[in-house]
A and B are shown apart, each in its own frame.
Chain A
Amino acid sequence: EPEVTQTPSHQVTQMGQEVILRCVPISNHLYFYWYRQILGQKVEFLVSFYNNEISEKSEIFDDQFSVERPDGSNFTLKIRSTKLEDSAMYFCASGDRGRGNTEAFFGQGTRLTVV
């Protein structure tokens, strides 16, 4: 069964370093998302991506964050200069439906720990 895959599963990085989280969405999907979940808190929307551009982003998604779909299969989230508070589980999701449907399928997540 098709699934969203994310790498790495866990990354520890020093504060101030850049990280790139990678995702391979389900191949025929058109909508891509990044969410994050800080331990013990709600899942939070970061950004949605459609037709090779950002369609919406949250307040969390500031200038430190960027997304790319460099080669038609990968979908990456870059955090330019990590902060301690960026430590969270980052989920990539994708969906294939038009405006009427909003189901999204999630990857297993990347646990980012900033020290």
Chain B
Amino acid sequence: EDKVVQSPLSLVVHEGDTVTLNCSYEVTNFRSLLWYKQEKKAPTFLFMLTSSGIEKKSGRLSSILDKKELFSILNITATQTGDSAVYLCPNAGNNRKLIWGLGTSLAVNP
């Protein structure tokens, strides 16, 4: 059965800390891994990863995929209170539907 496992489930840090969120997966005919940030409602797209070892970067956020070990990490440096959210890493196979994990709930305290 396809699955996505994220760790930790919950994380509390102080502003300025760096965090690393983990996402491991088992997906048939893996095509891509996506990272989303979910605040109050809709997941907001962050990155799409399809190739191993190529870092995607956007400001303080960066992500990389390891297709051999079947995981991805999302790094956030110099965290801010606005980074507080649930971070999700759904995977897509050939059929385009997204398989989701429970997410990592990040709380950044001032």
Residues of A within 8 A of B (CB): 4, 31, 33, 35, 41-45, 48, 55-56, 58, 89, 91, 95, 99-109
User: Which A residues touch B102, using CB under 8 A?
Assistant: 41-42
B96: which A residues are within 8 A, CB to CB?
31, 48, 55-56, 95, 102
22 contacts between A and B (CB under 8 A): A31-B96, A33-B98, A42-B101, A42-B103, A43-B88, A43-B98, A45-B97, A45-B99, A48-B95, A99-B94, A100-B31, A101-B32, A102-B31, A102-B92, A102-B96, A103-B48, A104-B45, A106-B42, A106-B43, A106-B44, A108-B42, A109-B42
B interface SS class? loop
State the Cβ distance, B101 to closest chain A Cβ, in Å.
Answer: 7
Q: Which of A31, A41, A89 contacts B41 (CB 8 A)?
A: A89
Least CB distance from A104 to B in Å reads 7
Residues of B within 8 A of A100 (CB): 31, 50
Number of B interface residues at 8 Å Cβ cutoff, please give it.
24
Complex CA gap A107/B102 in Å reads 19
Chain B residues proximal to chain A, CB less than 8 Å? 31-32, 34, 36, 41-45, 48, 50, 88, 90, 92, 94-103
